[in-house]
Amino acid sequence: MRPVDVNDENGNSFEVVDILLTGSLHAKCVEWDNLIFDDDIDGFVKCEKWIRSDIVDSKEAKTTSWFKRFIGREQKPEVTWPFPFVEGRLFILTIRAGVDGYHVIAGGRHVTSFPYRMGFALEDATGLVIKGDLDVHSVYATALPSSHPSFSPQRVLDMSGKWEVRPLPKTPIRLFIGVLSATNHFAERMAIRKTWMQSSAIKSSDVVARFFVALNPRKEVNAIMKKEAEFFGDIVVLPFMDRYELVVLKTLAICEFGVQNVTAAYVMKCDDDTFVRVDTVLKEIEGISHRRSLYMGNLNLLHRPLRRGKWAVTYEEWPEEVYPPYANGPGYIISSDIANFIVSQHASQSLRLFKMEDVSMGMWVEQFNSSTPVQYSHNWKFCQYGCMENYYTAHYQSPRQMICLWDKLGRGHAHCCNFR
């Protein structure tokens, strides 16, 4: 394996190792990290200082030679750490889960450690990718589930009648919550059913929540999801293949459901890895004048589109230099008049669609605001990255963390579950 050589502004040479846990975590180790971050992880430094065996510091060699002549004996040599990868030779790469984070060991030598990302557990990873000039001969995993819950729905779906939803109320409701979910996210949906969908406001029908799911390329996955939808009665199946560019259509469907299938005063959109404190969100909404149009969430101002990289946006897709004010996608709320406006604009084929659904919502609200004043309500407690104390919504929560958060709420504490 030949990692990337990097030079800093002083000409010093460093090495970079790039490791990716598919869809979940990206860890990069650069030697100079230890110059910036002093904290360690389970007693290990974040990045070991690697010294190539073929690099000789001439200044240090001259100093050592002078010292030997001066005192008449050899100075005890400092043990350096030769670079752990040798081209053309086999080595074993081990990723170990510790108390505070992950530790990467190559050829029996510690290479790098990195802390757990808030809301992520190693058991939730669906794949491992190691980038670089490397041929993988074999992979061995131990102490992990035999398969990810998404690929074994029978293990996670609890077909108990107590998790079935009530019929839709015929009277107006205070809040409709639409949850964006993927077809094979059986574990995520089951965790929500057992936790915040058991909130008193939902059980009393003041609030209604539904999952919005598109189709999977695998017919067998769709078949299981259809049975799940028929049993629990809480899934809205949308007639298109699930793709990132079409997520905005799920958001549009949430608006339609919130004003056509139910009569909600407010409509909320969230993701299936978002934990919602339903009763607290309702209280936050009630603090706003009911006479005003509302757009509430963790708001972004003057954000610019990325023109390069994985999430690049072309000028054809978005010609403007900045995005309109928009709330982060893991959890935001609009009043019903805005939802009605969006639905009517779409029906008349005059609604502009953009692949980033949260930016699309900001664009639609801005258009509505041009004729009817909207109250933009920003709050950091609609968490974009993980969780914070006394959160309104917590993002990147695994099914296990959902259960933990619900248990803590039951004891009167809105504390996070980071499993550190």
Report whether pLDDT(343) > 60: yes
For residue 171, being part of any structural domain is answered with: yes
- 25-45: pLDDT as tens digits: 445 565 444 444 446 777 788
The residue behind tokens 């999801």 is: 225
269 & 348 share domain: yes
Average confidence (pLDDT) over 363-377? 96
Q: Look at phi and psi of residue 389 and say left if phi exceeds 0, alpha if psi is from -120 to 50, else beta.
A: beta
Q: In sequence order, what are the residues at sequence separation of 6 or more whose Cβ sits closer than 8 angstroms to the Cβ of residue 332? A: 268, 269, 295, 296, 297, 298, 358, 361, 382
For residue 220, being part of any structural domain is answered with: yes
For residue 115, being part of any structural domain is answered with: yes
For residue 142, being part of any structural domain is answered with: no
Which of 13-17, 134-138, 220-224, 340-344 shows the highest mean pLDDT? 340-344
91 & 182 share domain: no
95 & 62 share domain: yes
234 & 362 share domain: yes
| Predicted TM-score (pTM) of this structure | 0.68
Report whether pLDDT(48) > 50: yes
Q: Determine the pLDDT at residue 308.
A: 86
Q: Determine the pLDDT at residue 14.
A: 39
Could you say which of 130, 163, 189 is where a domain stops? 130
371 & 256 share domain: yes
- 392-412: pLDDT as tens digits: 999 999 999 999 999 999 999
Please provide residue 269's backbone torsions phi and psi, each rounded to the nearest 5 degrees: -115, 135
115 & 159 share domain: no
- Three-state SS at 85: coil
Distance of CA 285 to the CA centre of its chain: 25
Q: Determine the pLDDT at residue 109.
A: 78
CATH of the domain at 296: 3.90.550
CB atoms within 10 A of CB 81: 12
| 56 compared with 196, residue with greater pLDDT | 196
85 & 193 share domain: no
- Sequence letter at residue 120: F
Percent of the chain whose pLDDT exceeds 90? 53
For residue 135, being part of any structural domain is answered with: no
Domain count, the chain: 2
Report whether pLDDT(117) > 70: no
65 & 178 share domain: no
301 & 177 share domain: yes
174 & 110 share domain: no
* Region of poorest pLDDT, from 41-50, 160-169, 223-232, 240-249: 41-50
Range of the domain at 108: 4-130
- 255-286: pLDDT as tens digits: 999 999 999 999 999 999 999 999 999 999 99
For residue 110, being part of any structural domain is answered with: yes
Of 183, 341, 349, nearest to 250 by C-alpha is: 183
| 8 compared with 173, residue with greater pLDDT | 173
Q: Determine the pLDDT at residue 299.
A: 96
- Three-state SS at 317: coil
For residue 182, being part of any structural domain is answered with: yes
For residue 162, what is the DSSP state? G
10 & 47 share domain: yes
For residue 112, being part of any structural domain is answered with: yes
Report angle CA 274, 335, 181 to the nearest 5 degrees: 30
Report whether pLDDT(340) > 90: yes
46 & 175 share domain: no
Could you say which of 97, 130, 163 is where a domain stops? 130
Tell me the two tokens of residue 160: 């108990």
Q: Determine the pLDDT at residue 79.
A: 46
Average confidence (pLDDT) over 381-401? 94
Which of 1-10, 64-73, 290-299 shows the highest mean pLDDT? 290-299
